[in-house]
Structure 1
Amino acid sequence: MGSIVISLDAELGWGFHDLESPPIDRVESGRRGWSVMLELCSEYDVPATWAVVGHLMLESCDGTHADHPSPEGWFARERSEWRDREDLRFGPDLVRGIIDSDVDHEFASHSFSHVLFGRPETDRELAVAELDRSIELATEWDQTIDSFVYPRNDVGHRDVLAESGVSAYRGRSPTRDGIRGVFDSTLRDRSMVVDPTVDEHGLVNVPASLFLFGFEGTARTVAESIWNDPMVVLARRGIDEAAASDGIFHMWLHPNNLTHERDDRRMEAILAYIDKRRAETDLTVETMADVARQVDDCDGIDGPAKGVDGQATARQY
C-alpha cells in the first residue's frame, strides 16, 4: 500500500534572516501561505508534517539570545531591520492554528533559528542548542518532536538528532528541481516514489520526492500557457505511482512559496487529487512520524533489510 507524505518548512522571516537581500515577496507571504495551507489541508482532510522554526513559538524576545552559542551577528537582523516586524519573528497564532486544527497534523522541528546544520561553522554545541531549545519550546506547547527537517536541506549532526529523541528526518531528494527535474521525471520516466531508510544512528530517513515550487518564473508561465502547471502534472504522476506501489511520494514546500493565487490553485489541485485517489484506491496520507513508527514496528519483527548503500531499507510494512 503506497502513501503520500507532505512536509512544510514553516519559518516566516527566519528562512531569510541571514541573507543579504531576502526575496521580499516570499518574506511577506509567509503568514498568508501558512493560513492558506491550513485551510486547504482542513478542506481535504490531509495531515501534514509542519516543521516549525522554534523561535516562532515565542511571544516576544529582546533579540540578543545571549545564552545561545550562535555565530556572531546571527540575530542582527532581528535587532535591526526587523526589530519592529514581530509578524516575521513570532508566530504563536500560527502555531496554535496547527495544534488546534481538526486535521491530525504532525508538529515537527525546523531548528530554533534556522541554523544550517551542515555548515562547518555549525559545531556540535550549536546543533545541540538549536535542537534542545526547539524541543523545550515545543514541550511548553504540549508537543512532542519526533521529526526534524533540516533548514535548506543541509543535513548534518544526525547523531545530535538521535540523542535528542528525534526519530525521523527529511533526507535530500534523489530527483532534481526545476526544468531538469521535469525533464527527468516526465521524459525519462524516472520514478518519484522513495523508500525510507534507517541510518547508522537509528534515525529513519524519509527522503523528499518533489519540491513543489521548483519550476517557477517565466518557465512556469510559458508552460502553463501551452500545457498545464508542470508541478501539478508531476505531483499527480507521483500520487498515481504511489497508489500503484508500496512506495512513498513525499512532497514538500514552504508556506511562503504561496505568493499569488495561482500558487493557491496549484496546492488545491494537488490536495484535491490526493483526496480523489485516496477514495479510489488503498492510498494513504501519512506524516513523517507515521512512517517512522511503522518502520520501527516492522524492524521489531524482522529487522531492517540492507540496501545497496549499506543503510537499512525500511519500507516493508
Structure 2
Amino acid sequence: MGSVVISLDAELGWGFHDLESLPGRRVEAGRRGWSTMLELFETYEIPATWAVVGHLMLESCDGRHADHPAPDEWFERERTTWRDREDLRFCPDLVTDLLESDVDHEFASHSFSHVLFDRPETDAEIAAAELERSVEIAADWGLSIDSFVYPRNGVGHRDVLAEYGVRAYRGRSPTGDGVWGLLDSTIRDRSMLVAPTIDEYGLVDVPASLFLFGFEGPARTVAESIWRDPMVVQVRRGIDEAVRRDGVFHMWLHPNNLVGKQDDRRMRAILEYLDRRRSETDLRVETMNRVAQRTVDGNATTASDANGGVISVSQPAPASRSND
C-alpha cells in the first residue's frame, strides 16, 4: 500500500531571525500561511506532521534566555528589532488552532529557537538545551514529541534526540531541495520515493522526497505561463509512483511559503489530487510518527520471521554525544 506524508516547518520569525538580509514577504506570510494550510487540510481531511518551534508556544519572554547555552547574540534580534513584533516570536493562538483542528495532525518539534544542529558551533550542550526546552513546553501543553524536523534540514546530534524520547526525524532528500534537484529528478526520471530506516540510535529516518517550493521566481512564472505549475506536475508523479510501487512519498513546506493566491492554488491543486487518488486507490496519508511506527513494527516482524517466530530486535548501544 502506497503512503504519502506531508510535513511542515512551522516557525514564523524564528526561521529567519539569524539572517542579515530578511525575505520580507515570507517573514510576514507565516501567520497567513499557517491558517491557510489548516483550512486546506480540513477541507480535504488530510493529516500532516506540524513541526513547531517551541518558542512560539510561549506567551511572552524577556528575549534574553540567560539559562540557554547558545551565544548571547543568538537571541539579539528578538531583544532589539523584533522586540515589539510579538506576532513573529509567539503564536499560542495558532498552536491552539492546530491542536483543535478536526483533522488528526501530528504535533512535532522544530527545536526551541531554530538552532542549526549541523553547525560546528552547535555543541551537544546547545542541542540538549533545545530539546529539553521543547519537551518541557510541549509537556506544559499536555503534549509529547515523537518526531523532529531539523532547522534548515541540518541533521546532527541524533543521539541527543534519542535521549529526549524522539522517535523519528526528517532526513535530507536524496535529490536535493532546490530547483536543480527537481530538474535532475525530472530529466532522469528518478524515483521520488524514500525508504524509512532505523539508525544506530534507534531513530527512524523518514527522508524528504520533495520540497514543494523549490521552483520559484521567474522560472516558475515562465513555466506556468506556457504550461502548468511544474511542482504540481512533480507531486502528481510522486503520488502516482507511491500508488504504483507501494512506496513512501514525503513532501514538505513552510507555512510562510504561501505568500499569495498563486501559492494557495498550488497547495489546493496538490491536496485535491491527493484526496482523489486516495479515494480511487488504497493510498494512505500518514504522519511521520505513523510511518516510524510501521517501520519499527516491520523491523520487529522481520526479526521474528528470521528467528523462527521469536521476536529479537536488538537495541542500539548507548553512544556518546557527537555532532552526528
Partner of 1:140: 140
**2:198 touches 2:296 (CA, 8 Å); kept in 1?**
no
Q: State the 1:297 CA deviation.
A: 1.5
1:183 counterpart letter in structure 2 = L
Instruction: Kindly indicate whether the alpha-carbon contact (under 8 Å) linking 1:5 and 1:249 is maintained by their aligned counterparts in 2.
Output: yes
Q: How does 1:190-201 map to 2 (within 5 A)?
A: 190-201=190-201
Residue of structure 1 in register with 2:74 after alignment: 74
**Which residue in the other structure is 1:45 paired with?**
45
Q: 2 CA distance for matches of 1:300 and 1:179?
A: 38
Whole-Å Cα distance in 1 between the matches of residues 303 and 18 of structure 2? 43
Matches for 1:21-100 after TM superposition, within 5 Å: 21-100=21-100
Pair 189,304 (structure 1): closer, same or farther in 2 beyond 3 Å: farther
Shift of 1:258: 0.4
| CA distance in 1: counterparts of 2:193 and 2:301, whole angstroms | 24
State how 1:286-297 maps to structure 2 within 5 Å.
286-297=286-297
Cα distance in 2 for residues equivalent to 1:304 and 1:30: 46
C-alpha offsets along residues 190-226 of structure 1, whole Å, 9 cap, x if unaligned?
1001110111111000000000000000000000001
State how far apart, in whole Å, the 1-side matches of 2:116 and 2:91 are: 21
CA deviation map 1:90-110 (0-9, x unaligned): 010010011000000000000
- How far apart, in 1, do the equivalents of 2:156 and 2:41 lie? 30
Distance 1:71 1:198 in 2: 33
Which residue in 1 is equivalent to 2:250? 250
Are 1:262 and 2:262 matched, yes or no? yes
- Report if the CA contact (8 A) 1:63-1:75 is conserved: yes
Gaps of 5+ in 1: 306-311, 313-317
2:162 aligns with: 162
TM-score if structure 1 supplies the norm length? Answer: 0.94
The code of the aligned residue for 1:18 comes to D
Query: Residues 147 and 288 of structure 2 are in contact (CA less than 8 Å); yes or no, is this contact kept in structure 1?
Result: yes
Change over 3 Å in CA distance of 1:127–1:304 after alignment to 2: farther
Superposed displacement of residue 290, structure 1: 0.2
Whole-angstrom distance in 1 between the partners of 2:219 and 2:184: 16
Tell me how far 1:304 sits from its aligned partner. 10
Aligned to 2:318: none
CA contact (8 A) 1:177 1:215 kept: no
* Partner AA of 1:92 in structure 2: P
**Paired AA for residue 127 in structure 1:** A
- Show the counterpart of 1:315: none
| Corresponding residue for residue 222 of structure 1 | 222
Instruction: Name the structure 2 match of 1:285.
Output: 285
1:131 Cα deviation after fit: 0.5
Counterpart-to-counterpart distance in 1, 2:289 and 2:119: 26
Classify the secondary structure of the residue corresponding to 2:250: strand
User: How has the CA–CA distance of structure 1 residues 125 and 177 changed in structure 2, closer, same or farther, with 3 Å as cutoff?
Assistant: closer
In the aligned structure 1, how far is the partner of 2:303 from the partner of 2:75? 44
Q: Tell me how far apart the structure 1 counterparts of residues 212 and 182 of structure 2 sit (CA, whole Å).
A: 11
Aligned equivalents of 1:239 and 1:225: distance in 2?
24
Paired position in structure 2 for 1:210: 210
Distance in 2 (CA, whole Å) between partners of 1:155 and 1:68 is: 21
The one-letter amino acid paired with 1:224 is E
SS at match of 1:252: strand
For 1:155 and 1:79, the matched residues in 2 are separated by 28
Indicate the SS of the match to 2:13: helix
Structure 1, 210-219 or 168-177: larger mean CA deviation: 168-177
Distance in structure 1 (CA, Å) of the matches to 2:284 and 2:302: 23
Counterpart code for 1:194: V
What's the RMSD between the two structures over aligned residues?
1.4
